[in-house]
Structure 1
């Protein structure tokens, strides 16, 4: 299969720029093209501006600012010649068929004979897009529909047509899976494909029923969010994010494209709300006002407001109803309750429609679940919700109300659900009555696949056999929070692996590797004056980290999501880390008034000193990271910080993380030699002199948080090796522990810990 090394993206708006950036994240060379603005001095200003913005904001499009060097800006008048060197050309222009046809005709002469051409359309059928193409181009054309923002949303919908060459489709699928890191869901060429087809009905039904039943936007979002595993934005918050004007256009598009008897037609009626909102300029977050907005009172204090759906006037935002705290999927048994009936009026049609759409939009119900989970961030897709609620209950209520029941839903009620089996043997029910495999990419391993009895287990960890002599250690404590119980379990698991296996992977199917130390337990012990237990936990943690590092077999950590504090220290003591691109790694102990004392300070010092070839410079570099509690926003940025090494791997597809970690462990095991015992010579006077101006600068930069400087002084003492000399890891670990114990005795540390526990945010005191 021809490699994809160079890509052209046409259209540099938010979506086009995001797609271009993510191809660059995947290592491709990218040409970004757009039109030439009228009277522009710089004819490529649109694409250049888009590239300049890719590193900005709280969620930058580029995973590493250095990746901007992989992008070249151009325009559609002067730079079409560059298309001839591209393996894939991605069109992301306006959702207007005539504009797309004109573009395809313009670029066709410049495309290589083997180049892929794709559109990111979400509304226009593939059959219409290719209607004016010659046969050669139709064979290489697919719809590859990204979700916004392209870097972070893991779903791609892949649409092919009757003329599509299967090899071209597979080329797009494989690169999207393995290099872009996406879950690729095959879709039929039907309006809205999968996620927006079902998501559109869900949102339209919610808006329609809320207006009809006098449900407030806050009530709707509370009832339809958490109880059903939907993100906290709920439905009206999501519509604000999408854009209320776009919601109106999408509704009309579905009305025009779908058959007259399609059930969605009913739920697109009576939605003048979108038109009325757009007429008042209330388009959502992009204009700062939609169903919700932030304003200020007469004293300039921020006020959260929500729209009254009856008057379209703003009022103070109310908290969600108390009922919602205990509200769940048993809503179906609460007929007659105002909010439960609203939930049924939205979720009943949504779940029924999911069943109605199989096999029209895709052959496998699990694809619909994947699309809603990854495209709309639902914790459970519609068919998983059907199983949780009970297909029989849904069928009974639909029947009692005289509504049509899709055959797949009837079949699910008869068979006891949509899904059956576990792990690799998990099956999904098809409308034919056959059982099909739940789709997954080739070579994917999940922890849930390992259904045999654990090799070793405690209340906090479980060790399973991955096969081929590799064991998988999973921290099962909530959020993989670390304490002495967890670390003792890790230590005991290492003994088992040393006896029965040749390598170990640390990881799970969770969204996060570890949130760090169990802060509540540490705070409770400090409040109770049980500092001897805190000191004991320190000793156990340090000893376990050293045991990981010097084990007689390779230890590979599979990092994703949050890997903070102690979680970061596990990564730093592993032989190799395979990290998902979206890994937020950091030694963030300073935020809670502490320093990294499970070997993190020492590990970063040793790495930076070796990297820079100088202990003083190494101490300075480690100080710059630890003193500001740096948390990185991606695996590449974690490499820059020193939390990951250059030899550690970055895995684009989260689903492939455990498989990649296992492969790395097996490769290391072929000729493994434990790391030699570390030792470093530290000139305390020179290091203290180098760190003094940094402490002064930190004090000047944070005049309202003087305690930050005190924490940094303790960190500096460890980095200087106390009084200096030749120190091994155990000596440096003792210095870490001494600094940690001095800090945890301070009231200001307790204040920081308690504030983080109660607010989830750091305190700068």
Structure 2
């Protein structure tokens, strides 16, 4: 029986096939496997055997040879960096094959994704082959980055075309949030709905609906931005370094800025994208905008394609002191040392907090400055071009902004940026300079509107058709920014805020620099636990920062240690430990929802929670040994408790269970400063508890944590009793120290590493007491504090702390 798309749900899509095992095809296949799907990865049959295959006596008739391309892609997945899979073992979910021998298998899958070379003729051939075997109702999508979707399926049946759309993933598919869904005139609305639900809920992506125009949304505007930046760099006489200093974080964009990003993309790839827009456009002005830049043509002709060829706008050269980066001198096309860039304008932007403030500082610190003029010119052109594309590449400014945030990692999309610099004021300046403003923008301002966005009903509304329209938001998403804009902040310090997220649940949001835990956050935790105990059903720990928490305020600890203020250091540790105990002993449920970097003190802030909801991209680890310390905010105490609980569970509750194997595993994780490469890997590191879990969709983590709080509350929550922890004692410590000595004798760790590991062993084992002794939590916290203080006094630890603060990298001394 044929199942139509309207009768399917995202959860019913259990299997998929990916056609093409190149970079994108393999990446998509891996991410579908991440979502729990069974995946068939197919590629063409090779036309010749390799030398190695020939030595093995294999021929083109052998199955191993015929499926070599897909098999090799699967083999690379478990070793890829950055990792494509959340767990390397999940390659077992992917079956390699070839399009000749395994074509009929496409009749057994729920979703077919085409990801072959960007050539219209080849894609048409692939779809013709798929059409001979697919079951009616099976969705087929293409990962094209800009070819005409309608042209690809010309000649296919009406039923095929109804179930076809573009699903344009960005590279790398696991990490990049954006998926552009592009329907054709024939695509059924139920197909668009199903693909949107599938990409958002199963794959954890952010979806925008684009129109079937050249390069869709993100690449269209991103390419335009690169072209105008190059044009203005030459016009204002800037260097490559100067342009990148102005169009990176100073403008609320990634560190790769413009020209570093161009090298990563590939200069030849950019020319291909430029050609695609120009050749598919019938508008002379658009064709002129997307003319091939002579400079890029020269570089590509010379084989300077960017990072893949070793040289582009930058190049890396090896010298006696190691590798150095050189930059292209645009007047001579020769390379020279890359120079740092500084000016009052750039310094003001760096000092400002938040993307909006940075851009304002960039433009207004000294508007007469050459750098400010360059920034204004590139921003102005990008804003006007984006506004001119509304209704052409996408129906909503919201989708355009989301596409640029999710696809190019801009902190602000073009219309959000326009609001940040002042809509009416900036348009007046543009008009004064003779620029043509899209009529809908002038009409919007004439109607008395001061911005494209405004807060409304705990959500955000955007300009659409002359009125504000509420931004669509999934039921399982909670926006803290929108809640705060609506006045839902309960209390706040400089480092954290307590926010009402509805249903009598409060959320504590960290917002200090890098969300590092200092006195401001600890004070907020103390205040929040008192407030929640009186007036709320429970507490969520989460935020919308770049990272959940990178650890404790290392700078403060180093300053106090260098000054010999040991009482101050101890006060900091005790304040941290006490705050974590307040969370653990709160008589309301607490659920943590970490994301991305959750390190050191960030982990210690999560472990007191009754449950942890991990997002898939959570990099979780007690990494204090990397800066010469051990966890002292309760991390060691919690680890010792986990070892005891696991020993008890492994022995089916029998007293006297062997602690050592469980202690050894956690000791290794902490001593080697291991951090997970995904939320799923937390379990393998031993830091996930039975009640903790991972959800695929990062955007839903706050809503899911809220649901968990309410469920615990409905079940009649009572806080865990303050129990005692059975420890391994002096014999367990001795076992751990033998392992440390073996590592040191083998040259794997330094003398200072061994000192740190020895202190860690002492704390985790509960010190020099009788094996199997049950100790209080406070006893272990005292051991943590003592060891931490002693390590802070070590010169080599202070050197490690200083090196981490200055370079962001660990020092092995």
Q: Normalization by structure 1: what TM-score?
A: 0.96
1:641 is paired with a residue whose SS is: coil
- Of 439, 451, 461, which aligns to 1:427? 461
1:369 is paired with a residue whose SS is: helix
1:136 is paired with a residue whose SS is: helix
CA contact (8 A) 2:250 2:362 kept: no
- Of 665, 683, 688, which aligns to 1:621? 665
With over 3 angstroms needed to count, the CA separation of the structure-2 counterparts of 1:412 and 1:309, relative to structure 1, is farther
CA apart distance, 1:456 = 3.5
Does 2:340 align with 1:319? yes
With over 3 angstroms needed to count, the CA separation of the structure-2 counterparts of 1:280 and 1:54, relative to structure 1, is same
Q: Which residue of 1 aligns with 2:416?
A: 384
- Of 255, 269, 278, which aligns to 1:232? 255
CA contact (8 A) 1:332 1:393 kept: no
Taking the aligned partners of 2:117 and 2:633, their CA distance within structure 1 comes to 53
CA apart distance, 1:649 = 2.4
1:661 is paired with a residue whose SS is: helix
2:594 is paired with a residue whose SS is: strand
Cα distance per residue 1:731-760 (max 9 Å; x no partner): 222211111121112222111112212222
Does 2:311 align with 1:275? no
Taking the aligned partners of 1:693 and 1:423, their CA distance within structure 2 comes to 61
CA contact (8 A) 2:461 2:470 kept: yes
2:83 is paired with a residue whose SS is: coil
My pick for the range that moved more, 604-613 or 365-374, is 604-613
CA contact (8 A) 1:352 1:409 kept: no
Taking the aligned partners of 2:422 and 2:672, their CA distance within structure 1 comes to 50
CA apart distance, 1:682 = 2.8
My pick for the range that moved more, 228-237 or 50-59, is 50-59
CA contact (8 A) 1:609 1:616 kept: no
Taking the aligned partners of 2:750 and 2:282, their CA distance within structure 1 comes to 63
Taking the aligned partners of 1:465 and 1:293, their CA distance within structure 2 comes to 50
With over 3 angstroms needed to count, the CA separation of the structure-2 counterparts of 1:552 and 1:321, relative to structure 1, is closer
Taking the aligned partners of 1:349 and 1:462, their CA distance within structure 2 comes to 38
Taking the aligned partners of 1:332 and 1:511, their CA distance within structure 2 comes to 25
- Of 712, 718, 726, which aligns to 2:774? 726
Does 2:614 align with 1:579? yes
Taking the aligned partners of 2:760 and 2:749, their CA distance within structure 1 comes to 20
With over 3 angstroms needed to count, the CA separation of the structure-2 counterparts of 1:331 and 1:526, relative to structure 1, is closer
1:232 is paired with a residue whose SS is: coil
Cα distance per residue 1:484-525 (max 9 Å; x no partner): 443243133212212212211111222221111111111122
CA contact (8 A) 1:21 1:62 kept: yes
Taking the aligned partners of 1:267 and 1:621, their CA distance within structure 2 comes to 60
CA apart distance, 1:425 = 4.1
My pick for the range that moved more, 58-67 or 536-545, is 536-545
Taking the aligned partners of 1:533 and 1:341, their CA distance within structure 2 comes to 49
Q: Which residue of 1 aligns with 2:201?
A: 178
2:179 is paired with a residue whose SS is: strand
Q: Which residue of 2 aligns with 1:307?
A: 328
Q: Which residue of 2 aligns with 1:695?
A: 740
Taking the aligned partners of 2:686 and 2:456, their CA distance within structure 1 comes to 39
With over 3 angstroms needed to count, the CA separation of the structure-2 counterparts of 1:611 and 1:81, relative to structure 1, is farther
Does 2:752 align with 1:707? yes
Cα distance per residue 1:567-625 (max 9 Å; x no partner): 10121221111111111111011111110111111212322343353311121111100
Cα distance per residue 1:286-344 (max 9 Å; x no partner): 122111111024x3642211112233221111222424323544665666643333333
Cα distance per residue 1:56-79 (max 9 Å; x no partner): 244111111122221111111111
Does 2:691 align with 1:651? no
Taking the aligned partners of 1:702 and 1:436, their CA distance within structure 2 comes to 64
Taking the aligned partners of 2:367 and 2:774, their CA distance within structure 1 comes to 74
My pick for the range that moved more, 45-54 or 618-627, is 45-54
Does 2:463 align with 1:440? no
CA contact (8 A) 1:616 1:686 kept: no
2:238 is paired with a residue whose SS is: coil
Does 2:275 align with 1:266? no
Taking the aligned partners of 1:534 and 1:335, their CA distance within structure 2 comes to 46
2:760 is paired with a residue whose SS is: helix
With over 3 angstroms needed to count, the CA separation of the structure-2 counterparts of 1:413 and 1:444, relative to structure 1, is same
CA apart distance, 1:542 = 1.9
The alignment of Structure 1 onto Structure 2 pairs a total of residues equal to: 762
Does 2:407 align with 1:375? yes
CA contact (8 A) 1:143 1:160 kept: yes
Taking the aligned partners of 2:136 and 2:566, their CA distance within structure 1 comes to 71
CA contact (8 A) 1:366 1:439 kept: no
My pick for the range that moved more, 372-381 or 489-498, is 489-498
The alignment yields a C-alpha RMSD, in angstroms, of: 2.0
Taking the aligned partners of 2:788 and 2:630, their CA distance within structure 1 comes to 6
Taking the aligned partners of 2:741 and 2:134, their CA distance within structure 1 comes to 59
My pick for the range that moved more, 523-532 or 227-236, is 523-532
With over 3 angstroms needed to count, the CA separation of the structure-2 counterparts of 1:375 and 1:700, relative to structure 1, is farther
1:8 is paired with a residue whose SS is: strand
Q: Which residue of 2 aligns with 1:4?
A: 13
Q: Which residue of 2 aligns with 1:640?
A: 684
Does 2:309 align with 1:287? yes
Taking the aligned partners of 1:408 and 1:73, their CA distance within structure 2 comes to 51
- Of 572, 576, 579, which aligns to 1:541? 576
My pick for the range that moved more, 525-534 or 514-523, is 525-534
Q: Normalization by structure 2: what TM-score?
A: 0.90
1:643 is paired with a residue whose SS is: coil
- Of 142, 149, 164, which aligns to 2:172? 149
Taking the aligned partners of 2:102 and 2:748, their CA distance within structure 1 comes to 52
Taking the aligned partners of 2:693 and 2:267, their CA distance within structure 1 comes to 41
With over 3 angstroms needed to count, the CA separation of the structure-2 counterparts of 1:144 and 1:270, relative to structure 1, is closer
2:18 is paired with a residue whose SS is: strand
Does 2:136 align with 1:127? no
CA contact (8 A) 1:517 1:566 kept: yes
Taking the aligned partners of 2:659 and 2:752, their CA distance within structure 1 comes to 27
CA contact (8 A) 1:571 1:644 kept: no
Q: Which residue of 2 aligns with 1:395?
A: 427
Taking the aligned partners of 2:40 and 2:487, their CA distance within structure 1 comes to 49
Q: Which residue of 1 aligns with 2:487?
A: 452
- Of 38, 56, 59, which aligns to 2:79? 56
CA contact (8 A) 1:282 1:290 kept: yes
My pick for the range that moved more, 8-17 or 266-275, is 266-275
Taking the aligned partners of 1:608 and 1:51, their CA distance within structure 2 comes to 36
Taking the aligned partners of 1:57 and 1:608, their CA distance within structure 2 comes to 32
My pick for the range that moved more, 393-402 or 731-740, is 393-402
Does 2:369 align with 1:356? no
With over 3 angstroms needed to count, the CA separation of the structure-2 counterparts of 1:270 and 1:168, relative to structure 1, is closer
With over 3 angstroms needed to count, the CA separation of the structure-2 counterparts of 1:376 and 1:493, relative to structure 1, is same
With over 3 angstroms needed to count, the CA separation of the structure-2 counterparts of 1:704 and 1:548, relative to structure 1, is closer
Taking the aligned partners of 1:336 and 1:542, their CA distance within structure 2 comes to 52
Taking the aligned partners of 1:649 and 1:695, their CA distance within structure 2 comes to 32
CA apart distance, 1:453 = 4.6
Taking the aligned partners of 1:449 and 1:123, their CA distance within structure 2 comes to 33
- Of 793, 802, 807, which aligns to 1:745? 793
1:573 is paired with a residue whose SS is: coil
Unaligned residue ranges in structure 2 (runs of 5+): 1-7, 50-57, 59-64, 350-358, 651-657
Unaligned residue ranges in structure 1 (runs of 5+): none
With over 3 angstroms needed to count, the CA separation of the structure-2 counterparts of 1:643 and 1:192, relative to structure 1, is same
Taking the aligned partners of 1:551 and 1:399, their CA distance within structure 2 comes to 59
1:145 is paired with a residue whose SS is: strand
